[in-house]
Amino acid sequence: MEDVSLRWIFTLALAVALSCGPVAAQQATDDIAPELTTDLSARSADPGVRAAQHAKAQGRAMRAANWMISAAHPEAVRAGADILRQGGTAADAMVSVQAVLGLVEPQSSGLGGGGFLLYFDAALGEVFSLDGRETAPMDATPRLFQNATGEPLGFFDAVVGGLSVGVPGTPALMRGAHDRWGRLPWARLLAPAIDLGEDGFAVSARLAAMVAADADRLAVHADTAAYFLPGGAPIGEGDRLTNTAYAETLRTLAEKGVSSFYDGKIGRDITRAVQNAKRPGLLSEWDLRNYTIKERAPVCVDVSQHAICGMGPPSSGGIAVAQILGMLAEVAHATEDNSDVGHLIRLGNISRLVFADRGRYVADSDYHPVPVEGLLDATYLTDRAGSVLDDRALEEVAPGKPVFDHSLNMADHVGRSLPSTTHISIVDQYGNALSLTSSIENAFGSRVMAGGFLLNNQLTDFSFRAHRDGVAIANRVEPGKRPRSSMAPTIVLRKGKPVLVIGSPGGSRIIGYVAEAVWRYLNGMDLQKAVSLPHAINRFGTYDIERGSAAEGIAAALNERGFPTNITDLNSGLHAVAITPEGLIGAADPRREGVAYGE
């Protein structure tokens, strides 16, 4: 990719390929944001982290020689930095960061959710991936989110309450990573979050704004309302918020291990909360006792002298990012139209093609065979890319026909994907690299609390319909199944060594944000600029253009070429660490309150 023109790189600053969401025509106008878009920052008590926040505000990346962490809240970064200073690994630091994020950024992730983790083990020179995705209760059926007449429930009718709650995977994922790659004692890693829960933390402007915007739903369940709406009023910016119940949950995990979460009082409290919630759920103690994380083969694809490694099914992230970057590489020099608009047309069409493949083929591979190799085959990507060289929007977009060792006839997904998510990127002093994206799905998840933390609504990532015109949908609800995800933790390698660790939250646009930033950086752009520049996202045929940005100026030209446009907030939360011969570079998205810090 090194010889891509400056004009092409400039175009990429405005454009992004697909972040794969469910394939359903009615979602083309889906305007429900998973989280508010803000650039509000929580002030850190750590002088070094404050300096990093100042650098971010000035548009400068953070540089360091030994280790680097980029995550979604300064308190979490401070906790992780303390662990790395003590000689901890990237896995050790992740445990502390995630535990704190569950407290200070509860709308996005936590013990009640799940996630996907990529880890580069420097000693072995290999990338590993762990699947900590939630699972459906064993009593769930394909009609879980349908009414008595078989019609899909409204989205928030399905979300709010116990029906949407899957078995949480985050605690097992945290412990699984620590067991494999940790050095410091488990209990020490949870101590920062325990102390913060007991002593309290200052509510950030972002959290306060999100609570106020969601107050009606947060008021539905008494425990949730008592925490976020004390006395009936939303918590406000600067309020001192304590969470002794969360601290006690973490203390139990520290003393008794993660088994106490899945087979003990915490688990009983979770099932009780789910079964007694509005729209009672099906989650049982048996479901919790039988949960396990899974080590899966990462999806790694060569693109222009780099290996792009991501998560395989049940996440669509690794496949989709690889498809986008592979097709972009194919079309970069395959046309005489080098205008910005021409590039955007091709990017928009690529995104729609990848979206169509994702909606047809990708689901939990333990339940449904997924043609991963076929979808990433070089000939397949070349053929697909050849259809986007016209100077207008494609009139029709359909899933491709990848080489497949099974004869299957599947229908397209019907549902929504609005995950409220967080991302952590860490490189430690030993050369290990970690990329973790975790989520509770919609902002504040199911709005059901237990043990001081919110429970996910990840089951709404399944298709709300089981069949379409008599043909089965791959991502339908099934007992014990893991719903498909858009999360895209990514590690980019060159000559077997990591050069970029990255990921993002952002609802159905996650994959597009990641693909865009990776492409920009590998084409020579400054890392902070690569995560900060405006977004233009095409998911369903309509181009979403970031409000208040330079990208707005291209909307009229896109309209003329057949793409409707929508000026809107695009709330990515990219967190990235680059490994260079000169040292480590960290960047955090200015659209959220995260920060990159290293020493």
Residue of 170, 421, 422, 460 marked active site = 421
Q: Cα(390)–Cα(388) distance, rounded to whole angstroms?
A: 6
Backbone phi and psi for residue 128, each to the nearest 5 degrees, phi listed first: -120, 155
Q: Cα(252)–Cα(263) distance, rounded to whole angstroms?
A: 12
Instruction: Report which secondary-structure segment, H or E, holds 132.
Output: strand 126-132
Backbone phi and psi for residue 234, each to the nearest 5 degrees, phi listed first: -60, 145
Q: Cα(130)–Cα(133) distance, rounded to whole angstroms?
A: 9
Distance of CA 152 to the CA centre of its chain: 25
Q: Cα(588)–Cα(574) distance, rounded to whole angstroms?
A: 6
Tokens of 518: 């990776």
Q: Cα(516)–Cα(537) distance, rounded to whole angstroms?
A: 10
Structural contact between residues 525 and 532, judged by C-beta atoms closer than 8 angstroms: no
Q: Which amino acid is at 380?
A: Y
Instruction: Report which secondary-structure segment, H or E, holds 501.
Output: strand 497-503
Distance of CA 542 to the CA centre of its chain: 22
**Number of Cβ atoms within 10 Å of the Cβ of 553:** 12
- Smallest CA-to-CA distance from 71 within 383, 385, 425 is with 425
Q: Cα(62)–Cα(433) distance, rounded to whole angstroms?
A: 17
- Smallest CA-to-CA distance from 531 within 548, 508, 552, 506 is with 506
| Residue matched to tokens 């680059």 | 578
Active site residue 421: yes
Residue 435: strand pairing partners? 118, 425
Residues 58, 59, 60, 66: what is their CA dihedral angle, to the nearest 10 degrees? Answer: 110
Residues 445, 313, 375, 492: what is their CA dihedral angle, to the nearest 10 degrees? Answer: 90
Structural contact between residues 283 and 271, judged by C-beta atoms closer than 8 angstroms: yes
Q: Cα(449)–Cα(453) distance, rounded to whole angstroms?
A: 5
Q: Any idea which residues carry the catalytic annotation? A: 421
